[in-house]
Structure 1
Amino acid sequence: MSATRAAIGASPDPHALPTGDADPELLRQFGYGASPPDPDLGWLPWRRNGDILWIGTVAEPTPALRAEICGSLDLRGDEGPRVQFLRVSAAQIVAAQNHLREALRLEASERFAREHPSFSAKGGLARWQGLLPIALLILAIAGMLGSWRAAVIVLFTIGNVAFLANVGFKFVATLGGPRQQMKQRGQQPAWDERAVPEPAAPPGPRRAVWEANPIYSVLVPVYQEASVVANIMRNFEKLDYPHDRLDVLILLEEDDAETIAAARAAHPPSWIRLVVVPAGQPRTKPRACNYGLLLAKGSYVVIFDAEDRPEALQLKAALAVFRRDDALRRTGRGTRPLACVQAALSYYNSDYNVLTRMFSIEYAHWFDAMLPGLDATGTPIPLGGTSNHFLRSALIDVGGWDPYNVTEDADLGLRLSASGYRVDVIHSTTWEEATPDLGPWIRQRTRWIKGYLVTGAVNLRHPIRWMRRNGARASLTMFGLILGTPVTFLLYPVTLGFTVASWLLGPVVQIWIPHGLLLLGYFNMVVMNLAIIISSMAATWRRYSWRIALFAVFLPFYWLLHSVAAWRALAQLAHDPSRWEKTPHGITEEYTDSMIDVPGLPHSARD
C-alpha cells in the first residue's frame, strides 16, 4: 500500500488517473467496511492524491450521480476535496470491499495478539501455569490418601485466607467510597463550551458548536437482540449531545440476520451507522468492539450494551472530566494521563424478583462504594463492561480490547494502568436490565469469573516481573480481587460448610480442626460477612431504597450461586476459554419498577 501511495505522490500530473486497487485506508475513512459488499453500489472512493479525491464508478458520472456521491460522502463543495472520476468494473468494486472487510476482520481478531503477545489471552497459559493444576491435583489426592484430615485442614486454611483477603479488600475499598462520591459531586466540572478547535471546523455560526462538541463515537455491540434493537436507537436520541457530532455504531454480527433486519427496519438516522461485523473467531464482544473502533471517527469512544439507558448528560460529563485533566496537565499539576472514565451501572428492574434485588445490591456496592474507594486511593480499577468512556488515542495506544478475553473490561483496566494511564469514575448512571432468570445469570457469571481467571493467568505469566513493573497497588487489585474473587467462590462452600458444621457440632463432637483456624472461620463467616452486608446495604439504600437494601442479608447464600458459576468457569477454562455465553436482554423490557424513578425512561415511576 505504501509503495502505491509513493507512486501516486511522485506523479507529475495531479490529474493523472491512479492505477492499482482502491486504497483501503480511504475506504475505512469513509466507512466502507461497515456493511457486506454491495455489487449494485456502482461507485466507491478509490484514491486520494493531494486535494484530488478519485471516485471509481461503473457508469458514466452523470450530474445526478455526481450529486448522489457528493451527498453520500458529505463533501461540502468548496470545503471538501476536489472530486475526479475514473471508470472501474463492478467486480473491482466488490473486490475492494471484500479486501477491506477481510483486512479489518483480521485486524480486529488478531492484531492485539500479534502486537501485544504478552498481554494476549490467545497464547494461553505459561508452561508452569498449565502444570500447576495437575501438580495441585496430585498433591490433593496424595494428601487425602496419606492423611485426609491434614488435607482438609490445608483446604480449609486456603479457603479462609482467600476469603479474608478478597472480602477484606472489598470492604476496605468501600470505606473511601462515600467520601469520594461527595468529592466528585463537588469537584466534577460542569459542562462548558470551551474546547480545543478541531481543524475541520466549518465557518459561520456552527463553528462554536462544532468546537465545543468533538465527535463522540458510541460503540454498541448487539447479538440476537431483534426485539430491543429499535429501542437502543431511541435511547440514544435522548442523549444531550449534538446529533451531528455523534457517531453511533451498532455492531451487528454477520450471521444474525434477524437482528440486522430489525435494525434496518428501524430506519436509523444518519448519525447511527449499522456495522455488520464479518463472521470469524473468536465470537466475542471485544472482537466486535475492535472492529467498531477501526471504523470509529470520534476522538472519544464509549461502550454501551444493548439494553443500556445512559443519563442524557453522561457524554458531556465525561468530556468535561477529560478536559479538566488536560487543563491540569498543561499547567503541570496533572499526574498520569487520563485514558478512561467509568460511569455507574444501576438496574431499572431492581425489584422484579429476588435475583434482580441481589444483582442490584451487588452492583450498588461495586459502583457506589468499591470503585470510588479504589479511585480515591489510586488503585487500578477493573472496568465494567459498559459505560466506559475512552480517550481514543489512549485506547489505540494499548491495542484496544483483547478479543480472546471474555472479561475484556477488567483486563483493559489493568492494562491501561500498566501502560501508564489513569482510570477515574464519574458521578453519572447508566440504567440497564438485571438478569431475572437463574440460568442466564449462571452463564453470565461463568463468563465473568472465567475472564478473571484468564486475566490473572495472562498478567502473571511472569509474576515477579509483573509485580515489580506494576507496584503494590496493582498487586493488591490482582491478588485481592482479580484472582481472589474466583478462588474465594471456588472454596466458599468448603469454608462455609466446615465453619457451620463445627459451630453446630462443636458442643457435642470433638472438632479436629485447630482452634485458631476455627476462630478464623468464625471471624470470616460472622464479622467479614456482616461487614459486607452492612456496606452493601448502605450503598443500596442510597441508590435504591431500604426495601431493596434489606435483601443484603441474603448475600452469604447468594455467594453460593457464585460458587456454582466459579466451578463451571473452571471447567470451561480447561477446554473452551474464549467461549462467550450470550446474556438475553429485553426479558423485563416493559416492567415498571416501583422502587426507583429513572428520569426519561419508559420504566420510570413518573410515567
Structure 2
Amino acid sequence: MSVEGLKILPAAWSNDAPVLPRPIVPPSKPSLPALMLGRRLLANGMVGSDDLVAALARHHHGQERLEDLLVAHKVLSRAEMTLLKAHIWGLPVIDPISQPPDCRLLDRWGPSLALREMILPWRETGGGTVVIVAEAEVFLRHKSHLEALFGQVMPALASAETIAESVLSLRGAALDRAAQERVDESESCRSLARGALPIWLCLGLLMLMAGLVILPQITLVALTLWAVLTLVLATLLKSAAMLAALFPARREGPRPIIARLPVVSVMVPLYREESIAARLVSRLERLDYPRDLLDILLVVEEDDQITRRALKAAALPRWMRVVVVPQGGLKTKPRALNHALDRCRGSIVGIYDAEDAPDPDQIRKVVARFHARGAEVACLQGILDFYNPTTNWLSRCFTVEYAAWFRLMLPGLARLGLAVPLGGTTLFFRRAALEKLGGWDAHNVTEDADLGMRLARHGYRTELIGTVTGEEANCRVIPWIKQRSRWLKGYMMTYAVHMRSPGLLLRQLGWWKFLGFQVFFLTTLSQFLLAPLLLSFWALPLGFGHPVLAMLPTNAGQWIGWAFLWSEAALLVGGWIGLKLSGQKMSAAWVLMQHLYFPLATLAAYKAFWEMLVKPFYWDKTQHGLFDH
C-alpha cells in the first residue's frame, strides 16, 4: 500500500464554519508517535521489520524523530511523510502557498519565529485559530504560547518547505531587515560606514597629502618610522605566535564516547556557483557522521537562478536542503548566514565554502572537542589548505602563506591568549553563543575576523582544531587582488568598529588582548599600505642612498637593517615550517617567492581604502570551480 492510498482529511476548514472542529491532538509522550508511525509503516508494507527496529533503536538512543530518520535514509519523501503523519493524527493538510495565511496572525507570532519553529498561524475560523505546523510535537510544545496569543488553537500539517516559502513570500522584506540588523548597532559597521568614518578617512588623506606638499621631509620621515615600528611589532607578534604554536600542546585523551550525539548544522552559502554544485554534494557526502544528525543547508539568494537550477539538477540527498534568502539590496555572505541561522536544527553550527573538501571525520572531531571543553569555548577553527597548490606560481605562494597562517599564526595567537581573527570557513560554533552575539554583522565584508573579535569581547574563546579542509587556491592575479582587497577592507572596518569606544573595548578584552588587537590590526594594515616605503630600503644593498637616512641619527640605518633581517628570517622560517607541517609536496624554494607575492597585497590595500570611501559594503565575489577538477 502506498501513501497515496491513505485517506486524508479535508485540506482546509471553511472560513464560515459555525463549530470549531476537534482534531485529534498528538499525545505528549514523544515515543508514542514513533510507535504509531512504525506500526502504520509496517501495516502498509512501506518498511521492513529489520529496518524499522534499527530506526527505532537510533530514535530512542539519539535526538532525532523517527520521521527524520526515515526521510534521511530515503525510505519516504518529505511530502509523503507529511501525508502519512496527517493520516495518523487525523489532521488536515493545508498548502499555505495556494491558501496563504492571514498576515496579521503571522505578524503577531513573528516571521522569524515561524521559520525557526516551522509554526505558521494560518486563519481564524469558527471561533478559533488554525495553526499549520511541520511536526505535531512542535504544536504541543508551543501550545500554551499559541493559546496566550490566539485563544483556542487547532493544528494542521504542511511540509517545512511550504511553510518557509509561504513566510518568505509574505514577509521576506521584513526578515531581510532583521537579518541586516541582527547584530547590535554598537558592534556593527552598518551605521559607522554611513556616518563620520568616510569623512575622517578623507580628512586623514588630505592631511597626508598636505604634509607631503608643505613638509615633505618631516612627513616622509614620520611615515618611514611608523612603517619600521609596525614592521618590528608585526615581526614580534609573528615570532611569539610561531614559538607558541611549536610548543608542545597538551595531549588530548582518547576520543570520548558520547551517548547522545548532537545534531550538527552546516551552512554553505552559495552565489553564482553554476559549476560547483555536483562536486560540492560529492565532497560533503564523504563526511562520516550519522545522516539523521547531519543538517546541511545550501544557502542561495532568491534571484540567483543559476545556482538554484544547478542544485535542482544535482539530486541532493535528503539530509541536504536548499534555503532561499529573500531578495534584498545588500548581498553579502554574513547576511545570508543570518537568514539561514534561524533554519538550522543543530546545537552546533558550522560553515563551509562552496569549493570546500573537508576531512571525512571532521564533524566527529568537532563534536568530540566541544564535548571535552566548557561552554566558554564557543568556536572551533579548522585548518585550511589547498588541493591545487601547484597550478601556477601564485597558487604555490598562496599555499605557503596559508600553511604558515593556519598552522603557526592562528594556533599561536590562540595559545598566547589573544583574540583570534577567524577564517571564513571550517568554522564551528555553539549555537547558543552565536545567537547570543546576534550572529554575523551583515555589512562587514570580513565577517569572520569581526566575529572573532566579538567572541573575545564577550568572554568566549576560540580554539584551533587539527582537521583539514581542502580549498581551491585563487590563483589568477586580478581575482586574487580583488579577494585580498575585500579581506583588507573588512580589517579596516573591523578595527574602526571595535575602536569606536576604546575604553569599553579595553574593559571587555583586558590589557593583554587589547594590546594584541592593536598590534595585529594596525601592523597588518600599515605594512601593506606603507610597503613601498619599506621596499625602497632594498636600494641600499644595491649601492644607492636613501633620503630618509640622511635625516636620522647615524646608527639608525644599522638598526633598521637588523629589523629587516629579523623580519625576513621570520617570514622565511615561518613559511618553511608551515609548508613542512602541511605535508604539501612542494619545493621549499617557493618560500623565497614571498617577496614577489606580498606586494600584490599592497595594490589590494589601496583598492580596499578606496572602496572604504565609495562602497564600503560591496562584496567582490570570488569565482570558484576553475581549478578543482
Q: 1:274 aligned to 303, 322, 342, which one?
A: 322
- Whether contact under 8 Å (2:549, 2:556) holds in the other structure is no
State the 1:493 CA deviation. Answer: 1.2
Which of 170, 189, 202 is equivalent to 1:99? 170
Partner of 2:449: 410
The answer for the alignment partner of 2:105 in structure 1 is 21
Relative to structure 1, the CA distance from residue 30 to residue 548 in structure 2 (aligned partners, 3 Å threshold; closer, same or farther) is farther
Q: Does 1:547 align with 2:586?
A: yes
Which residue in the other structure is 2:213 paired with?
145
Give the CA deviation at 1:55. 5.6
Structure 1 position 500 matched with structure 2 position 500: no
For the 8 Å contact 2:404–2:574, the answer to whether it is kept is yes
Q: Is 2:524 aligned against 1:459?
A: no
Hey, what's the Cα distance between the residues in 2 that align with 1:295 and 1:380?
A: 29
Q: CA deviation at 1:96?
A: 4.7
* Contact 1:190/1:317 (<8 A) preserved: no
**TM-superposed deviation, 1:152:** 1.5
Q: CA deviation at 1:546?
A: 6.5
**Residues 437 and 190 of structure 1: CA distance in aligned 2, closer, same or farther (over 3 Å):** farther
Report 1:67-78 matches (<5 A).
73=134
Partners of 2:114 and 2:196 in 1: how far apart? 45
The alpha-carbon deviation at position 353 of structure 1 amounts to 1.0
Measure how far apart 1:545 and its partner are. Answer: 4.2
Task: Tell me if 1:228 matches 2:276.
Answer: yes
% identity of equivalent residues: 33
Q: 1:375 corresponds to which residue?
A: 414
Shift in CA distance, 571/516, structure 1 to aligned 2, threshold 3 Å = farther
Does 1:120 pair with 2:188?
yes
The farther-off stretch of 100-109 and 560-569 is 100-109
- Tell me which amino acid in the other structure corresponds to 1:118: S
Q: Is the 8 A contact 1:160 1:520 kept in 2?
A: no
Q: Residue 560 of structure 1 corresponds to which residue in structure 2?
A: 599
* Alignment match, 1:192: 256
Pick from 292, 316, 332: which aligns with 1:244? 292
Verify the 8 A CA contact 2:135 2:157 in the aligned structure 1: no
Tell whether 2:253 aligns with 1:218.
Answer: no
Matches within 5 A, 1:192-341: 192-195=256-259, 211=260, 213-326=261-374, 337-341=376-380
**Residue 389 to residue 160, structure 1, CA distance change in 2 (3 Å):** same
The answer to whether the 8 A contact 2:139-2:155 is kept is no
> Is this contact kept in 1: 2:220–2:548, CA < 8 A?
no
Distance 1:339 1:147 in 2: 50
- Asked if the contact 1:121–1:404 (Cα under 8 Å) also holds between the matched residues in 2, the reply is yes
Cα deviation for residue 119 of structure 1 reads 0.6
Q: For the residues of structure 2 that align with 1:421 and 1:93, how far apart are their CA atoms? A: 33
Contact residue 105 and residue 121 of structure 2 kept, 8 A: no
Please list the CA deviations of residues 526-553 of structure 1 after superposition, one character each: whole Å capped at 9, or x if unmatched.
2211222112111112213473432111
- Per-residue CA deviation, residues 462-481 of structure 1 (Å, 9 max, x unaligned), is 22332243222322332222
SS state at 1:122 partner: coil
Map of 1:438 onto structure 2: 477
1:515-554 paired onto structure 2 within 5 Å:
515-545=554-584, 547-554=586-593
Q: Which residue of 2 aligns with 1:396?
A: 435
Give a deviation string over 1:422-452, Cα, whole Å, max 9, x none.
1111111111111121111000000000000
List per-residue Cα deviations over 1:188-208 (Å, max 9, x = no partner): x5443324xxxxxxxxxxxxx
Change (3 A) 1:105 1:493: same
C-alpha separation in 2, matches of 1:436 and 1:415 = 31
- The 8 Å contact of residues 182 and 440 in structure 2, kept in 1 or not, is answered as no
Is the 2:105–2:122 Cα contact (8 Å) retained in structure 1? Answer: yes
With over 3 angstroms needed to count, the CA separation of the structure-2 counterparts of 1:85 and 1:147, relative to structure 1, is: closer
Cα deviation for residue 234 of structure 1 reads: 1.7
Q: Decide whether aligned partners of structure 1 residues 557 and 53 sit closer, same or farther in structure 2, where only a CA change above 3 A counts.
A: farther
| Whole-angstrom CA distance in 1 between matches of 2:496 and 2:257 | 45
Query: Structure 1 segments of 4 or more deviating over 6 A?
Result: 12-20, 76-83, 91-95, 507-510
User: Counterparts of 1:568 and 1:406 in 2: how far apart (Å)?
Assistant: 14
The alpha carbon displacement at 1:92 in A equals 12
Measure, in 2, the Cα distance between the counterparts of 1:78 and 1:105. 26
2:224 pairs with 1:156: yes
2:240 maps to which residue? 172
In structure 2, do the counterparts of structure 1 residues 582 and 46 end up closer, same or farther at CA, with 3 Å as the change threshold?
Answer: same
SS in 1 for 2:353: coil
Aligned residues: 515
Among 407, 424, 446, the residue aligned to 1:385: 424
Q: Which has the larger radius of gyration?
A: 2
Q: Partners in 2 of 1:508 and 1:374 — Cα distance?
A: 36
- Aligned pair 1:364/2:403, yes or no? yes
The CA distance in 2 between the partners of 1:383 and 1:423, in whole Å, is: 9
Question: Of the candidates 594, 618, 623, which is equivalent to residue 584 of structure 1?
Answer: 623
Conserved in 2, the CA contact under 8 Å of 1:109 and 1:281?
no
Q: Using the TM superposition, name which of 117-126 and 74-83 deviates more.
A: 74-83
- SS of equivalent residue, structure 2 residue 542: helix
Q: 1:426 to 1:86 in 2, by over 3 A?
A: closer
| Cα distance in 2 for residues equivalent to 1:247 and 1:286 | 19
Instruction: Supply the distance in 2 between the matched residues of 1:488 and 1:267 (Cα, whole angstroms).
Output: 47
Aligned-partner residue type, residue 177 of structure 1? A
Please state how far the C-alpha of 1:237 moved relative to its aligned partner.
Answer: 1.2
When residues 96 and 495 of structure 1 are mapped into structure 2, their CA distance, relative to the original with a 3 A threshold, is closer
Instruction: Classify 1:107/1:144 alpha carbon distance in 2 versus 1 (closer, same or farther; 3 Å).
Output: closer
CA distance in 1, matches of 2:335, 2:547: 56
Q: Distance in 1 between matches of 2:564 and 2:176?
A: 49
Question: Residue by residue, what CA displacement relative to the aligned partner does 1:558-596 show, whole Å, maximum 9, x if unpaired?
Answer: 121110100110000111111101111111121xxxxxx
User: Could you say which residue in structure 1 is the equivalent of 2:35?
Assistant: none
Q: Distance in 2 between matches of 1:161 and 1:439?
A: 31
What's the CA shift for 1:97?
Answer: 4.6
Question: Is residue 178–residue 368 contact of structure 1 (8 Å, CA) maintained in 2?
Answer: no
1:584 and 1:461 map into 2 onto residues whose CA distance is 34
Distance in 1, Cα, partners of 2:179 & 2:587 = 41
Of 512-521 and 415-424, the range deviating more from structure 2: 512-521
Q: Deviations over 1:315-341 (max 9, x none)?
A: 111111111113xxxxxxxxx711101
Query: Is the 1:178–1:372 Cα contact (8 Å) retained in structure 2?
Result: no
Find the aligned partners of 1:579 and 1:124 in 2 and give their Cα distance: 15
In 2, the alpha carbon distance for the partners of 1:579 and 1:501 equals 38
CA distance in 2, matches of 1:478, 1:524: 22
2:181 counterpart SS class:
helix
For 1:29 and 1:148, locate their aligned partners in 2 and report how far apart those are by CA, in whole Å. Answer: 60
TM-score, normalising length: structure 2: 0.75
8 Å Cα contact 2:131-2:154 kept in structure 1: yes
Moved more, 377-386 or 520-529: 520-529
> Structure 1 stretches of 5 or more lacking a match?
1-11, 33-43, 57-68, 196-210, 327-335, 591-607
